Chains A and B, each alone.
Chain A
Amino acid sequence: MLPASALVLAVLAALLAWPVPAALARSSWPRRDPLVALLCWQAIGLAGGLSIIGALLVHGLAPWGTSLPAAVWAFWTGAPAGEAVRGDHWIAMTLAGVLFLELTGVLLLSLVHTARTRTRHRQLLELIVQPGAGLPGCAASERGAPEARLLEHPAPVAFCIPGARPLLVLSSGMVAELDDAQLGAVVAHEQAHLDERHHLLLLPFVAWRAALPVLPAADRAHDAVRDLVEMRADDVALRSVPGPCPRRVLAAAIVAAAGGASGHGLVPGGALAVTGGVVSARVARLLEPPPPLGATGRATALACAVALLLLPALLLLVPAL
């Protein structure tokens, strides 16, 4: 007999593997409050992993005890099983172990891999770019912000390399295309990525997309989180853009950068579809801002995120019914 908690966990895992991420990715409220939506995505990712592994574990260890902590303890200390241990119990346990190792392993590998790439890029930048190259319209250095570097290249590009010593890089093409206010907006946008550690929010989704290529939701979740992170950085950047209409300044900077990049023929054709839609979405969002999510909406979304995490955690701890 399948324990009820294993059954509920399995249902929860199925919901989190497909309908829930699909619904969240389709809904329109996340762009009204990217930060809350990002928290919801983190909860979905964590609860999804917890429930699928938990379901397998609860079922696999059912012969050893009625509650998971007790069963784990009994199994660990080599106590005899209370019921007959069948093949499916061993399969469930093995699957749980494999899945757990795969998810954490890929996450660790991804962490190491990106850290290595960043180190290489930073070393490269430190060699080819003079430090302290004065950037027009960039007030970042006054705030004790990360080093800003000017890279000699005609394409308008701006990016940041997160890490212990973050680097913020602007290309000379970007400086040429934008005026000072727009450059300030670009710097504020990248600064927001660094300040709020957006790379950490994205990391699990990058890793799990690599770990679960068969799961369309992993792809969908990754893309949604990547887009939301950009929108959140836009929102934060607006606060530090001076002038009567900061939204227009930032939108103009995005348009100029996007147009310039495609005009230089530097972007390989295959890359077009990847980020295509989100640039338009960001500009539209800046020019015609949707009403921000009300307090009730925020509270509901956050409550859902907390419930999503508490449900599998409680199901794992309470005695099986």
Chain B
Amino acid sequence: MASLGELERVFMDRLWAAGAPVTAAALRDELADRGLALTTVHTVLGRLEQKGFVEHDDARPRGFRARATREEHTAQLMHEVLGQAGDRQAALARFVGSVSAGEASLLRRLLGGASPDPLPDDADRAG
């Protein structure tokens, strides 16, 4: 039995792949190997709509489509992680914050300088 979370992901993959609005019946038929009831399909679509990932049009039957592409969602998430949103630090703990290009090169020198091996420059001068 697939979890709702997994079904949501499968549905989103289908909607992203489709490009055009898809009806609930068409989704059920596409995923015939999972043997989903139409009510289950509507439940999953409803959850996705509630989370803001899916919207439907006014056609009969209703066509469902993704509100944003996978890339757009990724970009939005990365923007929030990398960006300077006020709550970034509270919501996410990042491995490394952002540094300027100048500091990045300073860091590389720091790393190189503490190397136990002699620096190439020194070896040249010694020779």
Residues of A within 8 A of B (CB): 110, 113-114, 117-118, 121, 123-128, 130-131, 151-153, 155, 157-162, 171, 174, 186, 189-190, 193, 198-199, 202-203, 206, 210, 226, 229, 233, 248, 251-255, 257-259, 261-263, 266-268, 270-272, 274-276, 278-280, 283-284, 287-288
- Tell whether, in the assembled complex, residue B99 and residue A124 are in contact, meaning their CB atoms are under 8 Å apart: no
Taking CB atoms, residues of chain B closer than 8 Å to A157 are: 78, 81-82, 94-95
Q: How large is the interface on B (under 10, 10 to 19, 20 to 34, 35 or more residues)?
A: 35 or more
Nearest CB in chain A: distance from B13 CB, A? 9
Taking CB atoms, residues of chain A closer than 8 Å to B6 are: 131
- Tell whether, in the assembled complex, residue B98 and residue A272 are in contact, meaning their CB atoms are under 8 Å apart: yes
Taking CB atoms, residues of chain A closer than 8 Å to B80 are: 121
- Tell whether, in the assembled complex, residue A121 and residue B99 are in contact, meaning their CB atoms are under 8 Å apart: no
Taking CB atoms, residues of chain B closer than 8 Å to A110 are: 90
Q: A121-B77, A210-B86, A275-B99 are in contact. List 16 more A-B contacts (CB 8 A).
A: A121-B91, A125-B77, A126-B8, A128-B70, A130-B9, A157-B95, A158-B95, A252-B111, A254-B95, A254-B96, A258-B99, A262-B104, A263-B101, A271-B97, A274-B84, A280-B107
B24 on the A face (CB < 8 A):
no
Select the residue from B51, B80, B90 with max chain A CB neighbours within 10 A: B90
Taking CB atoms, residues of chain B closer than 8 Å to A174 are: 95
Q: Which single residue of chain B is at the shortest CB-CB distance from A185?
A: B95
B123 on the A face (CB < 8 A):
no
Nearest CB in chain B: distance from A38 CB, A? 14
Select the residue from B87, B91, B95 with max chain A CB neighbours within 10 A: B95
- Tell whether, in the assembled complex, residue B87 and residue A262 are in contact, meaning their CB atoms are under 8 Å apart: no
Taking CB atoms, residues of chain B closer than 8 Å to A117 are: 87, 90-91
- Tell whether, in the assembled complex, residue A280 and residue B53 are in contact, meaning their CB atoms are under 8 Å apart: no
Cα–Cα, bound, A127→B87 (Å)? 22
Give the dominant DSSP class at B's interface.
Answer: helix
Taking CB atoms, residues of chain A closer than 8 Å to B105 are: 259
Partner of A127, one of B12, B83, B86: B12
Taking CB atoms, residues of chain A closer than 8 Å to B5 are: 126
Partner of B104, one of A161, A189, A263: A263
Cα–Cα, bound, A235→B67 (Å)? 43
Taking CB atoms, residues of chain A closer than 8 Å to B125 are: none
- Tell whether, in the assembled complex, residue A203 and residue B90 are in contact, meaning their CB atoms are under 8 Å apart: yes
- Tell whether, in the assembled complex, residue A261 and residue B53 are in contact, meaning their CB atoms are under 8 Å apart: no
When each residue 81-122 of chain B gets 1 if its CB lies under 8 Å from chain A and 0 otherwise, what string results?
Answer: 111101101111111111111011111101100100000000
Taking CB atoms, residues of chain B closer than 8 Å to A189 are: 95
- Tell whether, in the assembled complex, residue A251 and residue B111 are in contact, meaning their CB atoms are under 8 Å apart: yes
- Tell whether, in the assembled complex, residue B111 and residue A261 are in contact, meaning their CB atoms are under 8 Å apart: no
B74 on the A face (CB < 8 A):
yes
